[in-house]
Structure formats: C-alpha cells, structure tokens
A and B are shown apart, each in its own frame.
Chain A
Amino acid sequence: MNLNLTLVGQAISFAIFVWFCMKYVWPPVTEAMHARQKKIADGLDAASRATRDLELAREKAGQQLREGKEQAALIIEQANKRANQIVEEAKENARSEGARLLAAAQAEVEQEVNRAKEELRAQVASLALAGAERVLGASIDEKAHAELVEKLAAEL
C-alpha cells in the first residue's frame, strides 16, 4: 500500500462530516446537556430558597410567639394592678362609710342629749319656780318673776 489521493479524498469527506456534526449533531446534544444543567441548577436554587423561606418563617413564628408572651404578661400585670386597685377602693369605701355612720350616730346622740337638756331645762325652770313658790308662799307674781327664772334656767 502506498499513499495516494485516496487519503485526500478521505480528508475531504472527513472534513465535511466533521462540519456536519458540528452543525447538526453537536448543537442538540449540547442543548440537551445545558437543559439538564439548568434543570439541576433550578432545582438546587429552589431547594435553597425553600430552606431560606423555612428559616424566615421559623424566625417569624418565634418572634410572634415572643410578642404574644410579652402581651400576655402585660395583660396579666395590668389585671393584677386593676385588682389591687379595686381592693383598695373597696377598702377605702368601707372605711369612709364606717366613718360616716359613726359621725351620724354621734350626731344623733348629741341631738338626743341636747333634747334631753332642753327638756330638763324646761322642767328645772318650772321646778325652781314651784320651789320658789313654796318658799315665798304665793307672794310671788308669777308673771313678774318668770323672766328671772327663765334667765336662771338658761344659765343651767
């Protein structure tokens, strides 16, 4: 065997064949490979995004829980304060009511005493008058000395 133009002919054929492959065979193959790469990349992206979303959601949930707890604590505190206040108010009311009742009773007692004094005074006046009448006999003009006796009784 020796080298001849056959080799050139095959080289031409091979060049055309390679050109054909580059033009029509290679692109679909590389395209399929790129599509696969893209699919994988998208999948990984989606996965990492989901992980991040989950992280965020967890954080948010934790924050909400914390806020809820804080609010609950606040409400309880307020309630306690209010309860104390009510108790204080009730105590205050009771105390003032007691004082009021005491004062009323005292006033009544005083009034009673005064009335008794008035009565007593009136009786003392007439008693003194009767006494004096007895002492002086009937000589005393009731009308003339009534004023004097009244004055005496008022001094009692």
Chain B
Amino acid sequence: MAGANPTPSEYIQHHLQNLTFGMHPENGLGFAHGAKEAAEMGFWAIHVDTLGWSIFLGLIFITLFRSAAKKATTGVPGGLQNFVEILVEFVDQSVKDTFHGRSSLIAPLALTIFVWIFLMNLMDLVPVDFLPALFMALGVDYMKVVPTTDVNATLGMSLSVFCLIIFYSIKVKGVGGFVGELTLQPFGKWMMPFNFLLEGVGLIAKPISLALRLFGNLYAGELIFILIAIMPFWVQWALSVPWAIFHILVIVLQAFIFMMLTIVYLSMACEDH
C-alpha cells in the first residue's frame, strides 16, 4: 500500500490494483494488501470491485429497461421508453442486418452486451480519484471502478460468447460438420493437421481478440486518465477534458464493436457452408 505521499509510480500502481479477495498462502482468506499479495493468491481469487461494479451496472441496466418495459404504452412514448426504444431498435436493426439465422437469443444478447459494456465503459468518465477516494474514506484500500479495464471481465464475457459460438456451430452443423469445418479447410483432407492448426488458431483468436480489444482500449484510456491525474492540478483539465470528450466516442464504439463482433461470430457459427 502506498505511503502518505505516494510517488507517481506508486500512485499509478495503486490505481491499477483491483480489490482482490482470496486465499493467501500465509495470511489465509481475506483481501489482498497490494499487488504482491494479490499475485500470490494465484488463480483462485476474486476481483471484488470488478464483480461488484459490473453486477451493480448490470442491475441498473435491468432495472431501467424493465421499468420502461412495464410502463410501455402503444401511444407516444415518454422519455425513458423513448430512449429504450431507440436502443432496442438500433440493436435489433444491427442484428437483422447481420444475422440471418433464426434465433431468439441473439438480439437480447446483443442488447445486453451493448448496454452493459457501455455502462461499464461509462465509469471511465468518472474522474479516476472520486470513487477510490470515497471508498478509501470507507476503509476500502483498492477500488478499480471500470470493470472493462480488468481483463477478467472482458475475457469472461468473450469466453461466454465463445461457448455460444461452439454451441451454435455444433447445433447447426452437427459435431461432424463442426469438426469437418475445423479440419477439412482450406487444404483438403490430406492436410488435416495443418488445417486444424490454422482453423483452431482462428477459432481461439475470436474470444481472445474480442476480450483484449475492449480491455486494451479501456485500460489504455484509464491509464492516460491516471497519468493526467499526476500532473499539477491546475493544468489537468487542459488534457483531461479533451481526452474525456474523445473517450465518449471510444466507449460507445467499443461497446458497439463488441456487440457487432458477437453477432458476426454467432452468425458465422450458424451459417452452413
């Protein structure tokens, strides 16, 4: 943990450290005090802040859309319903344009991905010290408020999408068709191992690239906010505000890209050659 007057590198490291809960080999079950302890906890630890914020934002999404849906009228929509309708229409249109199979899962999935990732990205625009300072006052040492800057969150979502890709591939093409797709292209059956290597890399690359693209963009954005935050306070706004304005674009775009690629991958999985 940083001292009373953290050096810039301590400050940055502190901001990039998740609130980790897990079994430490020496200290037993509890929250990690610093990156070293968190690393020592190994795989079986939980980033409580990532989980907490993503669940909280997910609940906001659900509550908002549920209340709009419950009060929905066939007449002229009010403010919230109008907003929700715009989003739903937008996502629905994207799905219709890209996904030509029939599935009742794809559109709700795409909507959830878009709105949820957007909300998580939106946390990036909250100044980097506000919520950590608040939680510090409440006695919580580490607090990373943007779940999408945690590769665990993005990889978790992309792996869920990956599972769906495999599920739909097998459902539509059958096990034989799926295996055939992996091994018989592009060079015919005499190059089977090579084909499998090629297609396997392509398949694995989908969730990895999906996760790392979102993570990388948001992590970099967050890092730059943190770097701006260690500058003298009277000059921060000159850099922070343009970056934040630029970030409005980034957060929407990244949410959109994640959603679009999910639809495209699932559409590819559902296509018969």
Contact = CB atoms under 8 A, between A and B. Distances in A.
A binds B: yes
Contacts of B79: 33
B241 A10 contact: no
Interface residues of B, number: 39
A32 to B, nearest CB: 8
A12 B11 contact: no
Given A1-B14, A7-B129, A13 B82 contact: no
Contacts of B190: none
B237 A13 contact: yes
B13 to A, nearest CB: 11
B232 interface: yes
B188 interface: no
A16 interface: yes
B83 to A, nearest CB: 6
Given A37-B76, A40-B77, A16 B6 contact: no
B129 A12 contact: no
B82 A9 contact: no
B234 interface: yes
In this complex, the interface size class of chain A, counting residues with CB under 8 Å from chain B, is 20 to 34
Nearest to A42: B76
A75 interface: no
Given A40-B77, A44-B75, A44-B76, A9 B245 contact: no
B229 A37 contact: no
Given A1-B6, A1-B11, A20-B245, A9 B76 contact: no
A6 B233 contact: yes
A9 B125 contact: no
Contacts of A13: 127, 228, 236-237, 240-241, 244
A6 B82 contact: no
Interface of A: 1-3, 5-14, 16-17, 20-21, 25, 32-33, 36-37, 40-41, 44
Would you list the 4 A-B pairs with minimal beta carbon distance, nearest first?
A9-B233, A10-B127, A13-B240, A9-B236
